[in-house]
Structure 1
Amino acid sequence: MRLTLAFVSVAAATFALSSPAAAEEGMWTFDAVPTDAIKAAYGWAPDQKWLDHTRAAAVRLTGGCSASFVSNEGLILTNHHCVVGCLQNLSSADSDLVAGGFNAADRARELKCPGQQAEVVTAITDVTGSIRAAIGSLTGEALVKARDARIAEIESAECPDRDTTRCQVVTLFGGGQYKLYKYRKYSDVRIAWAPEFQAAFFGGDPDNFNFPRYAMDAAFLRAYENGKPAATPAHLKWNPRAPQEGEITFVVGNPGSTQRLLTETQRAFQRTERLPLTLLLLSEYRGRLIASMDESPEKAREGADELFGIENSFKALSGQFRALNDPAFTAQMAAAEAELREKVRGNAEIGDPWSEIDAAMAKRRDTYLDSVFLERGPASFSTLAGYAQTLVRAAEERAKPNSERLPGFTDSALPLTEKRLTDPVPTYPWLEELAVAFWASKAREYLGTDNDDIKALLGKESPEALAKRLVTGTRLADPAYRQQLWDGGAAAIAASDDPMIRFFARLDPRSREIKAAFDRDYDAPVTAAQARLAKARFAAYGDALYPDATFTLRLSYGQVKGWTERGKPVPAMTRIGGTYDRATGQLPYKLAEAFVTAESRIDKNGVYDFVTTNDIIGGNSGSPVIARDGSVIGTAFDGNIHSLGGNFGYDGTLNRTVAVSTAAIQQALDVIWPAPALAAELKGGKRR
């Protein structure tokens, strides 16, 4: 979901941080859908057959988005902004697929998206007992190692076929539950259709995270298997009708992360440490990037996706920061925590987990800057540096038994790690130098010139000189070289004279020390405390609770419904003709070329975008909006400005999901960027 800055007070919100969820609140796991609550609110609820079919049609994209199968031949509906990275990677100076869009004339011309993988949940199993038994009475780093080892063992045992399956154990309620998610994966994902960028992001930043909206933020991918379109009999029926005011809607997808269960101390850390620092870094990096992009049209094109992501992150985090500085909002959160503490006061089994988290947070503050600037180093900003860190660390981790490896390098994770490392993706030397130099300058600024780590890593070089030496000297832009180092393992890494590899060979031991300290001083005590906090919530409020988002499959329910903004009603949907009324001829309100040429053929009264009361967050981008009959009537791509507080809570009177309707997408396929074969496939026909 594209998140943007909003000047919004959340004082009126009624957040259920610890108590049972209010109607329409919640991102529910598929093994705990509150059908009784849905039926009480709407007089109807989906049965198990409906849920099973929908789960089998829902897709997770490894780029951080959601999607759904909409034909029996692997066709995937998602958002344009979920494929813009793919389009950027496939573009060149002579062929800008971001600006011009992409429309494969036939399947032979559908293009593979580097690094992309589509995943479908096939089973969810509770493994809490097994992991708690492995943890036992352990504390500190031993707790983390035992937990991670058991997770690695479960994932490896449950998914021996790593070509087509992936297993992932997910921590829920901060350690109160552990669930094993088993996925059917498709590692060959290709772009089939995408509109012009100016249509997908019409209105730009001024309209982003606002409504009314006039955005064609939709695209189609296709999953392939053995070089052929994948057979996907479980798919959603395409339903290009307009949404109806008040109808029940379901959004099924993978919300990335929420923090609705944080303690007061953890929220204070977000407000005073993490968010201010992150916003400062993003703001300065954005400025440097824009200045470089202004140097030439080619740099403007090459840096566009990077800038798009940075601006999106900045706006999202700005909204979180404003929410945590709203006195009325924070007072409500404090009151919710006080209520929970009172309800479980004197329960010896629960004890005082809040104080344990307080102590862990105090230690976290002391080591936070080391984690920010040294644990990943320039890999936080640079693609090439990210390759180097992965290769150096993988060489050591892959030599260990599976149960002793760090997360990301276990048997279950290695196939995706290798794919993302070795798939061909263009890199741009000027952008890589900018990224490495920015990291070096900020690390030196925040840690200090006299810091031993900074002296060891920078030596006598300036940040700019270090960046130039590492980027101009590395061969890591070549996927064949990356594959060679991956295949060669520790011996190849030790023998490599690549300056980026050598840099991370020096940094990695210190990076591991920082992670070990984090595991010992924060992760372990907080995991133990949060497990008891989960017990406290269940004891106080029963099991009608949903866990924080974890980029795993969830279902939310709601209805098509507008809201009242400063005393005036905001309608639930917009019409395509409103695009022309909104257009000014200047960016960001300049019409896409196809909107100009096809104007006489477009049904301007057709529904374009619409809003619902579904509870979503970033990661839900591309999620299908599903009607009661199980058909797809839209794809979610954003929230309104009030949903910024959704990271910490939900207010059904104001929070809204923003979606592009299938009715509008159908017009796009029929008359704006005609794709007759795709349109026929969606209607159930065969595509040649």
Structure 2
Amino acid sequence: MFLLNTINCFSTYNSFKLHLTLMLLLEYLCFTLKNNICESKMKPSRIFYSLFFFNLCLVFSNCASSVQTQLSNPKLDTVKAGQFDMGKMWTFDNPPLEYFEREYGFKPSEEWLEKARKCALKFDGGCTASFVSEDGLIMTNHHCGRDAMLTVQKPGEDLFKDGFIANILEEERHIPGLYVDQLLLIEDVTDEIKAAIKSGSDDNEKIKLKNLKIKETEKSYSEKTGLTCLVIPLYNGGKYSLYGYKRYSNIKLVMAPEFNIASTGWDYDNFTYPRYELDFMFFRAYNDSGKPIKTKDYFKFNPDGAKENEPIFVIGNPGRTGRLQTLAQLEFKREYQYPNLAGWFKDIYSVYFELFNKYPERESELLNMVMSIGNAKKVYEGTLAELNNDYLIAKKKDFEKTFQQRVNENPSLKNKYGKIWDEILASRDEMKKIFYEIDAYQVGGFRGPRYFTFATNIIKLAEQLKLPENAREEKFRGNPDSLIKKMYPAKLDVELQKKLLAVQLKHIEADLGKSNPLVDELTGGNSGDAAVEFIFKNSRLTSKDDFTALAKEGPEAILSSNDPFIKYVLNTRDKLAGLQQRANELNSGEQLNNQLLGEALFDVFGQSLPPDATGTLRISDGVIKSYEYNGTLAPPKTTYYGMYDRYYSFNGKFPWTLPQRWQKPAPELNLEYPLDFASTNDIIGGNSGSAAVNKNLEVIGLVFDGNMESHAGDFIFDPANNRTVAIDSKGLLEAISDVYKAKRLKEELLKGKIE
């Protein structure tokens, strides 16, 4: 039996240390048995305990190596695709009712689904929110609403630092431009859109006709219903649904906590679990008469919070996933696109974080940039790590193999779809050849210094001025002096621009090679800070006065200038245009193949698999559940005790400092109450602000994040470790009541209306 265990262990685990440990244990047992048992010097009980200890070592070795096994198992070709690899983001027009009943003993009715759909909202075109009272009270995340909040900050206030509470209705603040959308209509328009595509003669015309038909359909339905209507492609265009939204555009701020309790730990804790945050915010929808709206469609608030093992449904708007991507597409992301993006965001984050630490007086100016760029950095780094997870890729490989087999077994399907995978592979191989050049020639924008943009603009000015006045674009006609004045800002953060220039030069050199003539001409053969100083010494675009003087010298002076920025743009723009045209051709062909891939999935599997996320409303099921991480177990829930432990463990230092009112717990605050929890619901960016509800459609949590392992959700859902992270409604109510003393808000949440 024990030798069998050893053999099984060897066949499963490819770890030298484990093998060595087991061999030594086996040798010890054999020696003991030989020298003690035969000579009757060892008691039977000691024999039993020695053997038990050996078997226990095997068991513990098994547990401790479970994660490593997935990644280093030499038999990855035996890994099979999982039941939920395509996820659990179900559409409201095709919910898996039988699965819900089988899994949870609960089958939602049509009325249940309609109410869930109408209670949920899309917040400001990005995040998710929900109605949580009949008087239009809206719940979402702080990180979804913080930009809007700052637009109503009054002189002398610091809403980031101090938060905001409207103690009476009249104190709620209107936020111009903010809106929420409520999904009221879903219609299948697949036949109309596909007919338009089919009438095209080539790839470009097919895409053009598709887009025209979509616009026509949206306009027609909007005029007919009075709703904001959008055509949503599902299954990469295997199906098209029209969604009609009612828009609420009179929105007021009700309550926001302090930034440091909503984002404790900042980027360090972002996308991690265990977590200790209160990332919430409340707004209210008003009607045209200036009164709170009345609605029967709202989620009631459960004061007891989430329970382990009960079904949890997250109702929200997951952004985008690519779970139908082929292995060729994933390989391109893993080897080219994501290392490049992760590198860019890492370098840009370093720039802004350095300035943030250097200039504390600029906190309000730099904070959002640091948080936004840090979030993107962690997304790309985390997703790249999961793309390098051999076990997950093996699951994708098995799914693709099975999918292709099912297609090729059917002659009609093979004729229609059989070439998709080879054509996508060829397209990605072509993109690899031009990827780095495109990256090197695309300068300016948010990731680079503004000087390249100035160069592009002054070149455009020169070329327009060379034309007869009646042939110029409208804004270039007449005296150009006023236009020139507007082309360069009055103030420019030169320190920031220099640092961004250093980042841009680093990536240009990495893309093209240091010996490339374009790189040499741009940098004068220098690297790093020396390259930046060379360019600044030789450029006339680094100050407003020099820029203006050059612009007034006329077109010939501009176009013949030796300015490094101008020369680089002139020497690369035609190449870039040609490469981008080729990239667009490849992407157009691949876009149609992606649609065929979706149609193939639809033909083979029907609607048994959910479509990729599209930024539209979905329902995802799950339960609260622990998982293995860092060699230990994550708790299903965290508590206020944990929050204070983290605060004191870091000596109250940034970014784990707490707002003043939180530094000494209020006497009424029950530290044992749950703060956050982890569940197996399938979410992604866009789900932020989603309500987590029980089968009674009661709020038991507020979703605000996923864990690091959830980054794999871009291309595969792995229920073993992928977790949703949410605030527990019990802990949230405790904070509102006992720390913020927001009695009016507490009563409205508990009663579902204003009293």
TM-score normalized by the length of structure 2? 0.72
Which residue number corresponds to residue 737 of structure 2? Answer: 670
Cα distance in 2 for residues equivalent to 1:228 and 1:432: 44
Which residue number corresponds to residue 532 of structure 1? Answer: 596
Which residue number corresponds to residue 628 of structure 1? Answer: 695
Cα distance in 2 for residues equivalent to 1:195 and 1:656: 25
Residue 375 to residue 33, structure 1, CA distance change in 2 (3 Å): farther
Which residue of 584, 601, 607 maps to 1:543?
Answer: 607
1:84 Cα deviation after fit: 2.5
1:245 aligns with 2:308: yes
Residue 33 of structure 1: SS of its match in structure 2? coil
Which residue of 290, 297, 314 maps to 2:377?
Answer: 314
Q: Which amino acid aligns with 1:265?
A: A
Cα distance in 1 for residues equivalent to 2:69 and 2:157: 45
Cα distance in 2 for residues equivalent to 1:675 and 1:120: 27
Which residue number corresponds to residue 4 of structure 2? Answer: none
Cα distance in 1 for residues equivalent to 2:742 and 2:152: 20
Which residue number corresponds to residue 51 of structure 1? Answer: 113
Cα distance in 1 for residues equivalent to 2:443 and 2:620: 35
Checking the alignment, whether the CA contact within 8 Å between 1:573 and 1:608 is kept in structure 2 is: yes
Cα distance in 1 for residues equivalent to 2:250 and 2:586: 41
Cα distance in 1 for residues equivalent to 2:452 and 2:222: 31
Cα distance in 1 for residues equivalent to 2:642 and 2:327: 45
Q: Which amino acid aligns with 2:682?
A: D
Cα distance in 2 for residues equivalent to 1:64 and 1:32: 23
Which residue number corresponds to residue 348 of structure 2? Answer: 285
Which residue of 74, 97, 101 maps to 1:39?
Answer: 101
Aligned 1:165-564 pairs, distance under 5 A: 165-226=227-288, 228-233=290-295, 234-345=297-408, 346=411, 347-368=414-435, 377-378=444-445, 441=505, 445=509, 446=511, 517-522=582-587, 524-564=588-628
Which residue number corresponds to residue 131 of structure 2? Answer: 69
Structure 1, unaligned stretches of length 5 or more? 1-7, 390-426, 475-503
Q: Which amino acid aligns with 1:280?
A: G
Checking the alignment, whether the CA contact within 8 Å between 1:10 and 1:642 is kept in structure 2 is: no
Cα deviation code 1:609-666 (max 9, x no counterpart): 1121111112111110011101111101122232222222122232221110111221
Which residue number corresponds to residue 403 of structure 1? Answer: none
> Paired residues, what number?
613
1:116 Cα deviation after fit: 3.4
Residue 99 to residue 269, structure 1, CA distance change in 2 (3 Å): same
Which residue of 88, 103, 114 maps to 2:165?
Answer: 103
CA RMSD of aligned residues (A): 4.3
Q: Which amino acid aligns with 1:314?
A: K
1:11 aligns with 2:70: yes
Checking the alignment, whether the CA contact within 8 Å between 1:144 and 1:519 is kept in structure 2 is: no
Which residue of 636, 659, 663 maps to 1:592?
Answer: 659
1:148 aligns with 2:205: no
Residue 116 of structure 1: SS of its match in structure 2? coil
Q: Which amino acid aligns with 1:44?
A: F
Checking the alignment, whether the CA contact within 8 Å between 1:441 and 1:463 is kept in structure 2 is: no
Checking the alignment, whether the CA contact within 8 Å between 1:74 and 1:229 is kept in structure 2 is: no
Checking the alignment, whether the CA contact within 8 Å between 2:441 and 2:573 is kept in structure 1 is: no
Which residue of 181, 189, 196 maps to 1:134?
Answer: 196
Checking the alignment, whether the CA contact within 8 Å between 2:344 and 2:447 is kept in structure 1 is: no
Cα deviation code 1:293-344 (max 9, x no counterpart): 2332222331111101111111111111111112232222222211211221
Checking the alignment, whether the CA contact within 8 Å between 2:133 and 2:753 is kept in structure 1 is: no
Checking the alignment, whether the CA contact within 8 Å between 1:198 and 1:590 is kept in structure 2 is: yes
1:658 aligns with 2:658: no
Which residue number corresponds to residue 613 of structure 1? Answer: 680
Cα distance in 1 for residues equivalent to 2:319 and 2:119: 19
Which residue number corresponds to residue 419 of structure 1? Answer: none
Using the aligned pairs only, state the percent identity: 30
Cα distance in 2 for residues equivalent to 1:242 and 1:533: 42
1:566 Cα deviation after fit: 6.6
Greater helix share, 1 or 2?
A: 2
Stretch moving more, 564-573 or 217-226: 564-573
Residue 310 of structure 1: SS of its match in structure 2? helix
1:444 Cα deviation after fit: 5.7
Which residue number corresponds to residue 468 of structure 2? Answer: none
Residue 228 of structure 2: SS of its match in structure 1? strand
Checking the alignment, whether the CA contact within 8 Å between 1:140 and 1:521 is kept in structure 2 is: no
Residue 138 to residue 21, structure 1, CA distance change in 2 (3 Å): farther
Q: Which amino acid aligns with 1:45?
A: K
Cα distance in 2 for residues equivalent to 1:170 and 1:676: 42
Checking the alignment, whether the CA contact within 8 Å between 2:449 and 2:501 is kept in structure 1 is: no
Cα distance in 2 for residues equivalent to 1:432 and 1:118: 36
Cα distance in 2 for residues equivalent to 1:256 and 1:212: 24
Checking the alignment, whether the CA contact within 8 Å between 2:351 and 2:500 is kept in structure 1 is: no
Stretch moving more, 537-546 or 434-443: 434-443
Checking the alignment, whether the CA contact within 8 Å between 1:63 and 1:116 is kept in structure 2 is: no
Which residue of 677, 695, 709 maps to 1:642?
Answer: 709
Checking the alignment, whether the CA contact within 8 Å between 1:249 and 1:626 is kept in structure 2 is: yes
Q: Which amino acid aligns with 1:317?
A: Y
Cα deviation code 1:356-405 (max 9, x no counterpart): 2123223433454576577795156799999xx9xxxxxxxxxxxxxxxx
Cα distance in 2 for residues equivalent to 1:291 and 1:244: 43
Checking the alignment, whether the CA contact within 8 Å between 1:378 and 1:440 is kept in structure 2 is: no
Residue 99 to residue 597, structure 1, CA distance change in 2 (3 Å): same
Cα distance in 1 for residues equivalent to 2:702 and 2:538: 43
Q: Which amino acid aligns with 2:601?
A: R
Q: Which amino acid aligns with 1:546?
A: P
1:468 Cα deviation after fit: 5.7
Cα deviation code 1:557-606 (max 9, x no counterpart): 11122234477543321222332233213233333322235421212222
Residue 77 of structure 1: SS of its match in structure 2? strand
Checking the alignment, whether the CA contact within 8 Å between 1:23 and 1:41 is kept in structure 2 is: no
TM-score normalized by the length of structure 1? 0.78
Checking the alignment, whether the CA contact within 8 Å between 2:314 and 2:620 is kept in structure 1 is: yes
Which residue number corresponds to residue 481 of structure 2? Answer: none
Residue 688 of structure 2: SS of its match in structure 1? coil
1:41 Cα deviation after fit: 0.5
Checking the alignment, whether the CA contact within 8 Å between 1:174 and 1:530 is kept in structure 2 is: yes
1:9 Cα deviation after fit: 6.9
Cα distance in 2 for residues equivalent to 1:55 and 1:471: 57
Residue 232 to residue 139, structure 1, CA distance change in 2 (3 Å): farther
Residue 608 to residue 370, structure 1, CA distance change in 2 (3 Å): same
Checking the alignment, whether the CA contact within 8 Å between 2:134 and 2:298 is kept in structure 1 is: yes
Checking the alignment, whether the CA contact within 8 Å between 1:250 and 1:557 is kept in structure 2 is: yes
Cα distance in 2 for residues equivalent to 1:556 and 1:432: 43
- Relative CO higher for 1 or 2, CA cutoff 8 Å, sep ≥ 6? 1
Residue 441 to residue 99, structure 1, CA distance change in 2 (3 Å): farther
1:25 Cα deviation after fit: 4.0
1:536 Cα deviation after fit: 2.8
Cα deviation code 1:166-214 (max 9, x no counterpart): 2222222222122211111223433221111221222444443333222
Which residue of 667, 681, 687 maps to 2:748?
Answer: 681
Stretch moving more, 362-371 or 293-302: 362-371
